[in-house]
Copies of this chain bind each other. A is one copy, B any other.
Amino acid sequence: MKLSTRGKYGLYAMYYLASHQGEGPQTLQSISTIGVPKQYLEQLLGSLRRAGLVSTVRGAQGGYQMSRPAAEVSLLQIIDAVEGPIELSECTSDEHSCDRACSCPVRWVWQQVSERINAELDGIKLSDMLTQQRQDGNSEQCPTPS
């Protein structure tokens, strides 16, 4: 069970925007310093915009910015936006994908797990990451990456 890079990149991007909230729109150029190819990042930001998480200003001096406070943006919203909804198995979303249908205990268990994961992801907000960062301090006692 893996997230694609979309989720990771999307979260990086949102975290970047959260860190620069109140500084006006950030250009694609500057956001891409998080280490994501500009044109690929553009697609992801498009999804985030369509999901209502970021707003954009077009034209010169334009860019992307968060459309609401970091405390109101959850991991779930970000992942949903860039990767689509979590589906452990198509049978949890599509009733007719298998003929075992409603009495299938496998189906039941997937639903249980999906619900819990969703609740978990929805409980973590972007603001939690910002405060975590602060608590962590400028922890430059990090083992220098080889």
Contact = CB atoms under 8 A, between A and B. Distances in A.
Interface in A66-122: 75, 79, 83, 86-89, 91, 95-96, 98-99, 101-103, 105-106, 108-110, 112-113, 116-117, 120-121
A88 B143 contact: no
Given A2-B88, A129-B109, A102 B143 contact: yes
Interface of A: 1-3, 7-8, 11-12, 15, 35, 75, 79, 83, 86-89, 91, 95-96, 98-99, 101-103, 105-106, 108-110, 112-113, 116-117, 120-121, 124, 128-130, 132-133, 136, 138-140, 142-143, 145-146
Given A11-B106, A109-B129, A129-B105, A3 B89 contact: yes
Contacts of A140: 103
A66 to B, nearest CB: 16
15 contacts: A1-B86, A3-B88, A8-B91, A8-B110, A15-B105, A15-B106, A95-B143, A101-B142, A102-B143, A103-B139, A105-B133, A109-B132, A113-B120, A113-B121, A113-B124
